[in-house]
Amino acid sequence: MPELPEVQILVNQLAPRLERARIRAVESRDPKIKLDRHLVGRRIRRVRRQGKNIVVDLSGGLHLLVHLRMTGWIEFDRLKRYRAAIHTTRGTAYFEDARRLGVMQVVTPEQLDRALKKLGPDPLLDGCGLSELQATSRPIKVALLDQRLVAGVGNIYASESLWRARINPRRRSDSLQSGELRALGRAIVASLRRAIAYGPRIFEAQQFAVYGRKGRPCRRCGTMIRRLVQSQRSTYFCPRCQR
Ligand SMILES: [Zn+2]
């Protein structure tokens, strides 16, 4: 599932292609995606990200809100199968989504506000205070996946950040000291920035510290990485670095 870095990399590809383009036509091949004709003629002012959401600001005070969920992605090359397409004066953006769980919807500024207000701080846009994490007794790894507490971190970067900050994923969130939370905040930002630096090569080239590395040596101490399941999701950690 695309997390903050993958979404940012996609936004970085979309923005230079779509910004300042005018929408010529919209096409939905899926009744769940309703793109009305009111979009036609509007100019795309900005393509940006908030958490794992892509926000496309349009002229005349409308927005396109996109969430990729499990398998969503946007391509400029024409695909055989796609759920929706936005045809613009600067090319066509195709929304592909094999499992069809992604969301693409037209929203008013008020609806956009309401949707984004539900999100916690975005580590790269709003800083990473993480004070909300102290208000929950859930394990820290599980709490990090809650988009109302931190927006953009998913299963991969939760494991990666906790390893970087040397915090055990099973620790109760409300047991973390303020120094540990600060270290975790820095670790989250560093893990996300490192991933974004891969650019479009991220899916082939990315090397993780712990994610998916069960039984392989920790890159810091050589101890075998372990996997555990928390809330039905895999967590990877080093039992020595993250006591
Ligand atoms: Zn280690």
State the distance from the centre of ligand 1 to the C-alpha of 99, rounded, in angstroms: 36
Beta partners for residue 63, in sequence order: 57, 107
Q: How distant, in Å, are the alpha carbons of 13, 113, 125, 153, 220 from that of 53?
A: 15, 12, 13, 12, 33
- At residue 179, the pLDDT reads 94
pLDDT per residue as tens, the chain (243 positions): 899 999 999 999 999 999 999 999 999 999 999 998 889 999 999 999 999 999 999 999 999 999 999 999 999 998 889 999 999 999 999 999 999 999 999 999 999 999 999 999 999 999 877 888 999 999 999 999 999 999 999 999 999 999 999 999 999 999 999 999 999 999 999 999 999 999 999 999 999 999 999 999 999 999 999 999 999 999 999 999 999
Quick check: 36 and 106 in contact, CB under 8 A?
A: yes
State the distance from the centre of ligand 1 to the C-alpha of 142, rounded, in angstroms: 21
At 116, give phi and psi (nearest 5°).
Answer: -75, -25
Quick check: 109 and 45 in contact, CB under 8 A?
A: no
Q: What is the pTM of this model?
A: 0.95
- At residue 15, the pLDDT reads 98
Domains of the chain: 4-117 (3.20.190.10), 131-237 (1.10.8.50)
- At residue 240, the pLDDT reads 98
Question: Judging by beta carbons within 10 Å of its beta carbon (0-12, 13-18, 19+), is residue 84 exposed, middle or buried?
Answer: buried
- At residue 103, the pLDDT reads 97
- At residue 128, the pLDDT reads 74
Q: Give me the catalytic one of 49, 52, 83, 213.
A: 52
State the distance from the centre of ligand 1 to the C-alpha of 164, rounded, in angstroms: 10
- The CA-CA-CA angle for residues 98, 76, 78, to 5°, reads 65
233 is catalytic: yes
CA pair distance 160, 164, nearest whole angstrom? 6
